[in-house]
């Protein structure tokens, strides 16, 4: 058959499917609808995840900024740097600003300066000279400062200023522990900017041996004759005296046992204590708000909660803690208040005391919230509605609202847990041998159930942990190191 010739072909309609254009069109539309929904869902899920990620980052940042929460800790934790005794004294002044510790430093030549030290490296960020070299002090075995620096409180954020008590007097210790006091010839209150160290104010404070600071106010204690001490409130910038107060003197039979006057300021209040004798609370105007009777009295400060607590002995010999807050009636609770190293605010108004057992109280009313038979040994941490405690038998977690035991993590036989620290993801402590011969181990516990996350030998032969600000510190044989 020639190519291109027409052929007759019969089609069987039963064998050929009918064309259905409309359903096909609907199928394509349905497919486009499914794809569109999937795209919308994907975008929505992506946006939701982004929001969740932002919230998680914000929560992590807030927790990292919470006082007492240390930087991330892992099994690879080691020694970052080793402060000498003079730098250790700076760390103990507890001024924490922008990743640095600040305070008064005594150099090898006996000079004194206000310094800022990077927390991760120990490198000096700035140094402001305050007193020149002192040959006598340089020869002393003790290079810690006679004076100190304290943060000037602010409503929010890190302190913008520090007040320093700068003195050329000091105590020199001989090889056999004999002390020789060098009387001060100059004592000043110097106010400095914490960001760059420049001097804001410099006023004379003759004879002052203790310092506390409130906004716009420096409070100093000056010992006088016959064990009498004068406490005065002075304008922070001009040094003008606004008020004076003299704490009660110990009786003649108690003077040998009573310590020198200590000052501390918190929440607009000033505590004036003669340890082992009396404790008094003053307002910022010098008004006496609370005064203990003569006897065994002292005060403690919960720096995390911003709470002042007076300790006194009852007639039966037990301890009584009095919570003193500005604008609120005093609240008495039995036992000794256990300060929180970390408190994320998840259990509002909680106060915990330790006295053979652990009890939770309402800080505003003094009403009992709960009681637990665990015996706290070192410190406590509040995170996500739970109270974490170190005990002689291990670490425990209590429900912060009911006091019920959530979990208990026992330590290795023959060891006890030390100071509890947290980076917000886990609890970390040093398990210390009771005998003191073996090496301590650094152990991390899960916050949720107390299981051991990791366990490593404590670096550098150290024995115990503690935290100051956001620093994780190791301690052993009189040595302090910064860990990370």
In a domain, 457, yes or no: yes
Please list, in sequence order, all residues whose beta carbon lies within 8 angstroms of the beta carbon of residue 162, skipping any fewer than 6 positions away.
95, 102, 103, 114, 149, 150, 151, 152, 191, 192, 194
In a domain, 478, yes or no: yes
In a domain, 461, yes or no: yes
Which two tokens mark 166? 């700068």
Q: How many CB atoms lie within 10 A of CB 113?
A: 19
| Residue 177 Rama label (left phi>0; alpha psi -120 to 50; beta) | left
Describe the chain by its helix, strand, coil percentages, rounded to 5.
15, 45, 40
Residue-number span of the structural domain to which 440 is assigned: 63-84+414-483
Question: Residues 230, 234, 236, 237: what is their CA dihedral angle, to the nearest 10 degrees?
Answer: -120
Whether 77 contacts 483, CB under 8 Å: yes
Which two tokens mark 369? 């919230």
In a domain, 186, yes or no: no
Q: Give 261: exposed, middle or buried? Use CB within 10 Å, 0-12, 13-18, 19+.
A: buried
In a domain, 402, yes or no: no
Please list, in sequence order, all residues whose beta carbon lies within 8 angstroms of the beta carbon of residue 94, skipping any fewer than 6 positions away.
151, 303, 468, 469
In a domain, 78, yes or no: yes
DSSP state letters, 291-302: EPPSSSEEEEEE
Q: How many domains does the chain have?
A: 1
Whether 417 contacts 456, CB under 8 Å: no
Local confidence pLDDT in tens for the 484 residues of the chain: 444 444 444 444 444 444 445 555 455 555 565 555 556 666 666 666 555 456 555 555 567 678 889 999 999 999 999 999 899 999 999 999 999 999 999 999 999 999 999 999 999 999 999 999 988 888 775 655 568 999 999 988 899 999 999 999 887 665 565 567 788 899 999 999 999 999 999 999 999 999 999 999 999 999 887 768 999 999 999 999 999 999 887 766 555 555 688 999 999 999 998 877 888 999 999 999 988 777 667 888 887 888 889 888 777 778 889 998 888 888 999 999 998 999 999 999 999 999 889 999 999 999 999 999 999 988 899 999 999 999 988 999 999 999 999 999 998 888 889 899 999 999 999 998 887 667 889 999 999 999 999 999 987 778 888 888 889 999 887 788 999 8
In a domain, 69, yes or no: yes
């Amino acid at each position: 058959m020639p190519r291109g010739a027409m052929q007759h072909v019969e089609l069987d309609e039963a064998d050929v499917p009918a064309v259905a254009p409309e359903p096909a069109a609907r199928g394509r539309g349905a497919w486009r609808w499914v794809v569109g929904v999937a795209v919308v869902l994907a975008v929505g899920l992506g946006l939701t995840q982004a929001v969740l990620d932002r919230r998680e980052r914000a929560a992590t940042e807030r927790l990292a900024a919470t006082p007492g929460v240390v930087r991330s800790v892992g099994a690879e934790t080691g020694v970052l740097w080793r402060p000498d005794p003079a730098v250790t004294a700076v760390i103990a002044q507890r001024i924490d600003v922008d990743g640095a510790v600040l305070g008064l430093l005594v150099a090898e030549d006996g000079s004194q300066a206000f310094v800022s030290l990077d927390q991760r490296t120990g490198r000096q960020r700035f140094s402001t000279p305050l007193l020149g070299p002192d040959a006598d002090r340089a020869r002393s075995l003790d290079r810690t400062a006679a004076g100190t620096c304290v943060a000037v409180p602010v409503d929010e954020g890190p302190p913008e200023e520090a007040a320093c008590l700068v003195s050329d007097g000091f105590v020199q210790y001989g090889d056999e522990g004999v002390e020789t006091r060098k009387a001060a010839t100059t004592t000043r209150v110097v106010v400095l900017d914490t960001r760059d160290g420049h001097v804001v104010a410099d006023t004379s404070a003759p004879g002052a041996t203790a310092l506390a600071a409130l906004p716009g106010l420096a409070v100093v204690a000056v010992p006088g004759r016959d064990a009498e001490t004068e406490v005065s409130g002075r304008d922070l910038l001009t040094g003008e005296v606004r008020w004076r107060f003299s704490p009660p003197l110990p009786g003649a039979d108690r003077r040998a046992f009573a310590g020198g006057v200590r000052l501390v300021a918190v929440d607009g209040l000033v505590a004036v204590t003669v340890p082992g004798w009396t404790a008094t609370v003053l307002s910022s105007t010098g008004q006496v708000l609370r005064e203990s009777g003569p006897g065994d009295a002292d005060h403690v400060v919960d720096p995390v909660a911003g709470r002042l607590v007076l300790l006194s002995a009852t007639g039966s010999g037990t301890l009584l803690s009095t919570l003193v807050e500005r604008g609120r009636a005093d609240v008495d609770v039995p036992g000794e208040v256990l300060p929180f190293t970390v408190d994320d605010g998840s259990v509002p108004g909680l106060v915990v005391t330790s006295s053979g057992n652990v009890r939770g109280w309402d800080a505003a009313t003094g009403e009992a919230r709960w009681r637990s038979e665990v015996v706290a040994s070192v410190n406590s941490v509040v995170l996500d509605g739970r109270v974490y405690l170190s005990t002689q038998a291990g670490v425990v977690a209590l429900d912060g609202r009911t006091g019920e035991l959530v979990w208990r993590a026992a330590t290795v036989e023959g060891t006890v847990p030390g100071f509890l620290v947290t980076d917000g993801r886990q609890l970390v402590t040093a398990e210390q041998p009771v005998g003191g011969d073996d090496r301590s181990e650094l152990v991390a516990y899960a916050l949720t159930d107390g299981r051991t996350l990791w366990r490593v030998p404590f670096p550098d032969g150290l024995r115990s942990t503690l935290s100051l600000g956001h620093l994780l510190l190791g301690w052993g044989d009189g040595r302090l190191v910064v860990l990370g």
